[in-house]
Amino acid sequence: MSRTAPGVIIAGTGSYTPSRIVTNEELSTSVETSDEWISSRTGIRERRLADDGEVTSTMGAKAGKAAMESANLKPEQIDLIVVATLSPDMTFPSTASLIQHQLGLRMVTSFDISAACSGFIYALEVVSNMMRSGAYHHALVIGSEKISPILDWSDRGTCVLFGDGAGAVVLTKTEDITCGVIDSYTGNDGSRPELLCLPGGGSAIPTSMESLAHREHYLKMNGREIFKIAVRWMEQSAIIMLERHGLSPEDISLIIPHQANLRIIDALARSIKIPREKFFVNLDRYGNTSAASIPIALHEARQKDCIQSGDYVLLVAFGAGLTWGSTLIKWH
Ligand code: UT7
């Protein structure tokens, strides 16, 4: 695919995860579960949980600060901030708006993206295209989640899966159109919202004594159905990106999938025929951090020198909506 618009590279990455580690063993003292069940069905061994003083904006700000430092940029050089989250500090104003102030950014365009676990992929698509067509030079894109307060800790089918944390990247416009965020693909099937949702607290089911009694303020999920759909749409998202650019599985150096379940990642590897060793996995230590999972993993992959100049890196996600998507990056 030929492009004449400016290129957009990932100039810096950062992450922040809370210090409190909760192992499967520890969870099994308060929930009817076991390390054996969680690790064999999901690959998760532990997750980080934020304490009362940490919220989505403060964790996102820490990840964002680290990303700015890694890009050697000062807060006043950022001219756009976008946050992907399903667990904002409050319904409004946006978490991006709160982080803008916490980081001392200028009064720049700031907004949130609601695409659940695919939120970071959606944000990369929106922001890179805004940068190509607009006057933005440096953008901060953050995925941040404090999911623990919206989990039903009496529902073992969901509470063992998730964790809190934040990851961030700085996107920078460049004249070099051969590298950076090459392309993205996103999609959504809105026909089955009930498969993964938080029903209460919105305009459909406002918070009331009744909604609280029915536990509508907690995340609900049909895990089995989501599993099947996740594999199908992650596969499609990856294949579409390879086909659009005439790439074969061998051309991809690293694939960073949404970190939800190791069995989903194994099934994806088999179906798209990219060797499992090329998949970056850290869900054993963090669980599913939703929109934060890919930027946290991307930052760790860079720290571990898993990405070299010229590498094709493929990001793939799915989430509530149901949303899905992929981003193809050629590392600068
Ligand atoms: O970012 C998107 C977020 N969502 C996902 O990625 C979820 C995708 N789905 C999954 O990862 C899997 O479906 C789960 C990990 C959620 C569940 O694994 P599964 O192999 O599909 O198990 P299941 O739901 O079919 O449940 C099997 C059994 C059930 O018992 P019975 O009915 O067979 O007696 C559950 O009650 O496992 C039981 N179970 C548990 N047992 C111990 C469910 N959760 C637990 C638990 N500990 N935590």
Q: Which atom of ligand 1 is nearest to the CA of 293?
A: 1
59 and 120, same domain (yes or no): yes
* Three-state DSSP class for residue 201: coil
Q: Which atom of ligand 1 is nearest to the CA of 221?
A: 4
- Structural domain tally of the chain? 2
| Predicted local confidence at residue 33, as pLDDT | 97
Protein residue with least CA distance to atom 12, ligand 1: 223
249 and 292, same domain (yes or no): yes
Determine the distance separating the centroid of ligand 1 and the alpha carbon of 221, expressed in angstroms: 10
Give the CA radius of gyration of the chain: 19
Q: Helix 95-102 vs helix 56-70: angle between axes, to the nearest 10 degrees? A: 60
Rounded to an integer, what distance in angstroms lies between the CA atom of residue 270 and that of residue 226?
18
- Digit-by-digit pLDDT tens for the chain (332 residues) are 456 688 999 999 999 999 999 999 999 999 999 999 999 999 999 999 999 999 999 999 999 999 999 999 999 999 999 999 999 999 999 999 999 999 999 999 999 999 999 999 999 999 999 999 988 999 999 999 999 999 999 999 999 999 999 999 999 999 988 899 999 999 999 999 999 999 999 999 999 999 999 999 999 999 999 999 999 999 999 999 999 999 999 999 999 999 999 999 999 999 999 999 999 999 999 999 999 999 999 999 999 999 999 999 999 999 999 999 999 999 99
| Predicted local confidence at residue 122, as pLDDT | 98
20 and 159, same domain (yes or no): yes
- Among 29, 227, 316, the mutation site with the greatest number of ligand 1 atoms within 8 A of its Cβ is 227
* 51 occurs within a structural domain: yes
| Predicted local confidence at residue 305, as pLDDT | 97
Select from 144, 178, 212 the last residue of a domain.
178
Protein residue with least CA distance to atom 35, ligand 1: 157
- Among 224, 266, 284, 324, the mutation site with the greatest number of ligand 1 atoms within 8 A of its Cβ is 224
200 and 314, same domain (yes or no): yes
Determine the distance separating the centroid of ligand 1 and the alpha carbon of 220, expressed in angstroms: 13
Determine the distance separating the centroid of ligand 1 and the alpha carbon of 158, expressed in angstroms: 8
**For residue 267, what are the domain limits?**
181-330
| Predicted local confidence at residue 3, as pLDDT | 60
Residues with CB under 6 A from ligand 1: 33, 37-38, 41-42, 117, 156-157, 160, 221, 223-224, 226-227, 230, 260-261, 288, 319
Residues labelled catalytic = 117, 258, 288
CATH of the domain at 115: 3.40.47.10
**Taking the model in full, what pTM does it have?**
0.97
